[in-house]
Amino acid sequence: MKRLSFLICSMLLGSFLLNGQSISKVEPLSWWTGMNTPLTIMFYGENLQDAEVSILEEGLTINKVRNAESPNYLFVEVDVKNPGTYTFLLKKGRKKLKYSYLIEERRQRPAANDSFDPSDVIYLIMPDRFANGDPSNDQTDNTIEKADREAFFGRHGGDIQGIIDHLDYIADLGATAIWNTPLLLDNEPTSSYHGYACADYYHIDPRFGDNQLYKTFVEESHKRGLKVIMDMVPNHCGAAHWWMQDLPYQDWIHQFDTYTQSNFMFSTNMDINASKKDLYIMESGWFDTSMPDMNLDNPDLLQYFTQWAIWWIEYANLNGLRVDTYPYNEKIPMSQWCKAIRTEYPDINIVGEVWTRPASQVAYWEADADNKDGFNSNLPSVMDFPTQEALCQALSSNGEGWNGGLTKVYASIADDYLYRDARRLLVFTGNHDTERIGDVVLDKNPERAKLAATLLLTMRGVPQMLYGEELRFLSKDQRQGHGGLRVDFPGGWQNDPVNLFDAAQRNDMQQDVFTHYRTLLNFRKNEPILHEGKTMHFLSRDNTYAYFRYTDKGAVFVFLNASDEDKNIPWENYEEIMNTYQPVGKNILTGKHVDAGQALVIPALSSIVVKFDIPK
């Protein structure tokens, strides 16, 4: 049985006792030279208030020592000059405590942008439900919830080693980045598997592995050309977080006389008619009873979260961040948070979960948006929920009505004028919080699921797919909500009767959907037109949809037929753009040549993707 990872390194995390005084936690765990971000070290233990702090070695200088409201915290601001191991001496009267702190040289990151961008496709994994590579850590003595694969809302045992074991599968599929839902310690007594109720911001949950294994996972991903995105949650912690027993300040979290939940009304951020009360409840109310709401207006907390994000980027060599429940945070501090991270890592991408609509409200959160109130989020990317909703609605029916079917997708893409750069939006058909696309499409038809894949992997934006989407996973029991859609990946556990990581064990339907995804993914990976090309789309009201992604180097033509009838491609409708390109292209789904001058029938519930070159 593994011990909690935060007990492994005595140098950083030991407990030093002396006559009722102690140091039990120091965060961040370490730091680096050459950082733009100033370093404030938080000491926590027993009776640390008013202690005199000094450093025995040269190379690290104390600027200021501050008490908190709790007598058990000290905030120490330091200047970092040289790498080394430094000894902090905390003195109170004749009592002395020593603590060793590590400063390393900053990592030399590539000069080129190594973050995720429109050239990538993100593979989203819920680690507990993906693969169990180390059954010995399914439960530990230092965590509450134990593994139970039959529990819809319980832990099933997936872990970091399970992801490492299947990195080749992900790379072969054609994805180029991995986003894991949170891997940090979540020690709630129930439903801790999702990780969104953090109990320790600096340590991986021991049921997933430990910090070193996470670092190994990133290294192994990079060897296979896979980028790694960390899911961060500054809006709330878990009720089981260690500081909930002894807050540094009473305003460290938002507190009310009685439990007060957020009103979830994002529009209060930009609504000129909104009351201050509604805005306050939106950003200060709790997300859930087990998720205390953090107060980023507290400057020490904002500094803590800024250092936290930078620490993980530097420690693990991350490629990007995804921020959960972004608009629930106080928006000005979060803007400062994004700016600080981007100052430290100018090329790093951060995508915010902005689960709202219409597109005008999503666009408000883009960095450098032309907002009437002058607000700049400094957030490089946002999640395109309006298009996700339109896509799901389009494929969940036969397209009845004037504005039904794929016309909904056309209408959503028509809102691109609202965005500063729609090519930076994160696009998706579903994630760990939504219904699976396999469940959403009419009659759960796999052909419709393939249409969703064609849209996802050829439209503008940064595509993100949910694990198992490539095999048309369905929810185990939709009545169980999130617990039902977050299904285990068959073959990820020992003694599973079927292993879908193995192509030989898939049925014909599963392999057909997989091949469709894999073909599109590997085409997209090497096609700059789909990364940065503009979009020109064409309206029809017969449940078909046609568009070109194009540059001055060529074009990719996409035609989708979501109707129950065969359709002829109306090439004459596309003359304004087709005149620029050679009339003969290649259908990347079949490898056959396509002549735009000849009639071509697209069967019901199918699509075609054609690459056209410019004339030589």
**Locus of tokens 């096609």:** 527
Quote the longest CA-to-CA distance of the chain.
Answer: 93
Instruction: Outline where DSSP puts E strands in 519-591.
Output: 534-538, 544-551, 554-561, 567-568, 584-587
Asked if omega into 28 is within 30° of 0 (cis), the reply is: yes
Distance CA 78, CA 61 (A): 5
Q: How far apart are the first and last CA of the chain?
A: 65
Sequence-ordered list of residues with C-beta below 8 angstroms from that of 513, at least 6 positions apart, any chain: 446, 449, 450, 453, 470, 471, 472
Q: Which of 128, 186, 353, 527 is catalytic?
A: 353
Query: Cβ distance 471 to 434 under 8 Å?
Result: no
d(CA 439, CA 436): 5
In one letter, which amino acid is 615?
P
The H or E element that residue 458 is part of is helix 446-458
Q: Which contacts of 98-101 are long-range, i.e. CB under 8 A and separated by 24 or more positions?
A: 98/16, 99/16, 99/23, 99/26, 99/43, 100/11, 100/12, 101/12, 101/26, 101/30, 101/31, 101/41, 101/60
User: Strand 584-587 to strand 593-595: parallel, antiparallel, or no bridges (unpaired)?
Assistant: antiparallel
Closest CA to 226 of 181, 177, 179, 168: 177
Asked whether 561 and 604 are in contact (CB, 8 A), the reply is: yes
Nearest alpha-carbon partner for 40 in 355, 304, 426:
304
Cβ neighbours of 10 (radius 10 Å):
10
Tokens of 281: 């409840």
Quick count: other Cβ atoms within 10 Å of Cβ 401? Answer: 11
**Alpha helices (H) along 224-372:** 276-284, 299-316, 331-344, 359-363
CA-CA distances (angstroms) from residue 463 to 100, 362, 407, 530, 541? 44, 17, 21, 11, 26
469 as an active site residue: the answer is no
Encode 270-282: b = buried (16+ Cβ within 10 Å), e = exposed.
beeeeeeeebebb
CA distance 253 to 286: 10
The dihedral sign for the CA sequence 397, 401, 403, 407: positive
Could you tell me the two tokens for 601?
């029938």
For tokens 């996972």, the residue is 217
Q: Which of 134, 145, 324, 439 is catalytic?
A: 324
5-10, long-range: CB within 8 Å, 24+ apart, which pairs?
A: 5/203, 5/204, 5/206, 5/209, 5/210, 5/211, 5/212, 6/185, 6/200, 6/202, 6/203, 7/142, 8/210
Whether residue 324 lies in the annotated active site: yes
Question: Are 11 and 29 within 8 A, CB to CB?
Answer: no
Residue numbers annotated as active site? 324, 353
